Amino acid sequence: MRIIGTLLVFVLTFSLCMAQTESKEVLYNPDANAMEQIRQAVEKGSLENKHVLIQVGGNWCPWCIKLYNFIEEHPSLDSLVTADYVLIHVNYSKNNKNPEVMAMLDYPQRFGFPVLVILDGSGKRLHTQNTAYLEKGESYNEEKIREFLLDWNPAAVNPESYFNK
């Protein structure tokens, strides 16, 4: 009976690990051309009047996966991202640190991972966000993320938004 119980625990643990690994592999692709990802996102953002939201991190980073899942699990946050941003995930790992991209983005890795970088529709870096300030306990803070997204969306940084106030 003990052997069956131990075997069952092993199988469940292995299954959970495999499921987590599969979702992580979809999030960050170490083989992707990050410069091309950014170029395409900027082009799309320019056409759709959106900013580019880059989440830099890796499949090795539990907080990177946690942030992605947190936003997806909160419909109001997911809606804000969809409405105002073109979201991409840029890999940073032992296998591919994307040094040219990190230089172009003014070395966001200095803040740890994940780190968020916002570009405007022309590709100009507007802001780099240390996500530690968006955390709450062992997760993220919905209100802080909402404020961050609203503070950096296209309307918020458009000077014309403030002329008639």
Q: Read off the pLDDT of residues 40-97 as tens digits, 9 standing for 90 and up.
A: 999 999 999 999 999 999 999 999 999 999 999 999 999 999 999 999 999 999 999 9
3-state secondary structure of 57: strand
Give the CATH number of the domain where residue 84 resides.
Answer: 3.40.30.10
Is residue 52 a part of any domain in this protein?
yes
On whether residue 56 sits in a domain, the answer given is: yes
pLDDT digits (tens, 9 = 90+) for 13-45: 544 444 444 444 479 999 999 999 999 999 999
Residue 15 lies in a domain: no
Evaluate whether residue 103 is within a structural domain: yes
Q: Answer yes or no: is 13 within a domain.
A: no
Q: Please indicate, yes or no, if residue 128 is contained in any of the structural domains.
A: yes
Is 4 contained in some domain?
no
How many domains is the chain built from? Answer: 1
Does 42 map to a domain? yes
H-run or E-run covering 66? helix 62-73
Name beta bridge partners: 52: 86, 119
Q: What is the pLDDT of residues 154-165, one digit of tens each?
A: 999 999 988 876
Q: What is the span of the domain harbouring residue 53?
A: 32-156
Give every strand in the sheet of 85-91, ordered side by side. 85-91, 51-57, 115-119, 125-130
Q: Which two tokens stand for residue 75?
A: 């419909």
